[in-house]
Homo-oligomer: A and B are copies of this chain.
Amino acid sequence: MEFETGFTSAPDGSVLTRFGRTMVLCTCRVVPGVPRFRAEGSGWMTAEYCMTPGSTNDRFQRERRGAKGRTMEIERLIGRSLRACVDLAGFGDHTVHVDCEVLQADGGTRTASISGAFVALALAADSMIERGLITRSPFKGTLGAVSCGIIDGVPVLDLPYEEDARAEIDLNLVLLDGSAIVEVQATGEEGVMSRAELDALLELGTAGVRSLAVVQHEALGAGACARLGLQALA
């Protein structure tokens, strides 16, 4: 997992996230105001996720007549996860738009999106502090996500697409500061899993998220981490 910050210069935060062969461009835009369903000054954040047509081996059809169910499910997961790692009110009277463009898809695009979006969001928040738009960090901790699965009975982290398609069981794990559970989604479309298998996947995933946090903090730099109150995991 690599995070290339500043890949594009325009948005408030821009990170090219590489995760194996998977590449996701995560950008943030901070705009004034909040949606009508939020009280003034209480902040809001939304996330969008998009597979580009060239990202897959079979051309992925552009979603111009409405997003498909899978896309919407992933967008909702990204949005919920990001909202869990911040105090929304900390954004004041701003809405943060997070956009995840999948430039190359080889498994784990949703967890790469979450992990990269966290970095982009941290850059945006740091820039907001610098510009005086907000006065203190809105973050509760570091957000990370990994996917893992069971192949031929063995738990494996971060499956590339070919292996992912073979996995009997698939788990996506989103953690705050490498321990508190934000989201667990375990599904066994081709099979079912025992409680013991679930436990093994949770162990494996937790270790994965923890090592990921080190890379995220490096990408942000010590100064930004300090300003945002993001601490190394215990």
CB proximity to B under 8 Å, residues A156-198: 176, 179-189, 191-195, 197-198
CB proximity to B under 8 Å, residues A86-108: 97, 99, 101, 103-106
* Copies of this chain, count: 6
Question: Does A119 sit at the interface, judged by CB under 8 A?
Answer: no
Query: Interface size of A by Cβ–Cβ distance < 8 Å?
Result: 66
In the assembled complex, which residues on chain B have CB atoms less than 8 Å from the CB atom of A194? 179-181
Give Cα A198–Cα B191 distance, bound, in whole angstroms. 22
Beta-carbon contact of B66 and A189 below 8 Å: no
In the assembled complex, which residues on chain B have CB atoms less than 8 Å from the CB atom of A27? 52-54
Beta-carbon contact of A11 and B54 below 8 Å: yes
Q: 18 A-B Cβ contacts within 8 A?
A: A8-B23, A8-B55, A10-B106, A25-B54, A48-B53, A59-B99, A69-B73, A72-B72, A73-B76, A83-B189, A179-B194, A180-B193, A180-B194, A181-B194, A181-B195, A181-B197, A182-B188, A184-B185
Interface residues of A (CB under 8 A from B): 7-11, 14, 21, 23, 25, 27-29, 31, 48, 50, 52-59, 62-70, 72-73, 75-76, 80, 83-84, 97, 99, 101, 103-106, 176, 179-189, 191-195, 197-198, 202
